[in-house]
Chains A and B, each alone.
Chain A
């Protein structure tokens, strides 16, 4: 069974750093792209970027380029989304999602990680 299990909720202060994770199981993690999607409170879905764990090829939405870093460690089947300096506006739910090919569609989603940034 394909599963994407994300790390737990985080509460951080502005300016702090954070790295959240998404662990895949039930399939060959290296051979599928993992994307990240933001959902701000009460709002819609926003595509942030995507990584291919096999060679760490990464693409970002222009809206998120330079604001976050996406990485992966294929040895432990885990993808990451990180911030070096959080802002209150980063408060949101973040989802990872599996994509079978670069040009393909999302098929499986993680359960989400709620990030709250507040002083």
Chain B
């Protein structure tokens, strides 16, 4: 199975901050990488696919980059509604695997 490792596991940030989350795959996954946002008590929401393509309706403050084994999710200007846990997932091969999550908290 492909291991996905996110860093950091949690971070504290202020409204307006630029935030970057990293996801590393244990082997080359080309650009088959998705990002999801999960708020407490809610289902995950799809944000990004193919490493850098925004899902329909997702605001442009979210951006993704990377290919191969190293990927990033950036939130350009953190807003109160962005405080959540973010997960990466590889879909290069089965079984699909997720990162352990990064919790973005209010400073």
B91–A105 CB distance below 8 A: yes
A110 to B1 alpha-carbon distance, docked (Å): 25
A17 to B99 alpha-carbon distance, docked (Å): 31
Chain A residues near B97 (CB-CB < 8 A): 47
How close is B49's CB to chain A, nearest CB, in angstroms? 4
Whether A26 is near chain B, meaning CB under 8 Å from some CB there, is no
1/0 per residue, CB under 8 A from B, across A68-79: the answer is 000000000000
Chain B residues near A105 (CB-CB < 8 A): 32, 34, 46, 49-50, 89, 91
- Considering only CB atoms, which chain A residue lies closest to B95 in the complex? A61
Chain A residues near B89 (CB-CB < 8 A): 45, 47, 105-106
Whether B83 is near chain A, meaning CB under 8 Å from some CB there, is no
A45 to B86 alpha-carbon distance, docked (Å): 11
B43–A103 CB distance below 8 A: no
A50 to B96 alpha-carbon distance, docked (Å): 10
A107–B46 CB distance below 8 A: yes
Whether A35 is near chain B, meaning CB under 8 Å from some CB there, is yes
B50–A95 CB distance below 8 A: no
Given contacts A35-B96, A44-B98, whether A106 and B43 have CB atoms under 8 Å apart is no
- Considering only CB atoms, which chain B residue lies closest to A45 in the complex? B98
B43–A47 CB distance below 8 A: no
Chain B residues near A95 (CB-CB < 8 A): 43-44
B44–A109 CB distance below 8 A: yes
Chain B residues near A61 (CB-CB < 8 A): 94-96
How close is B98's CB to chain A, nearest CB, in angstroms? 4
A44 to B100 alpha-carbon distance, docked (Å): 6
Whether B18 is near chain A, meaning CB under 8 Å from some CB there, is no
Given contacts A106-B46, A108-B46, A109-B43, whether A47 and B87 have CB atoms under 8 Å apart is no
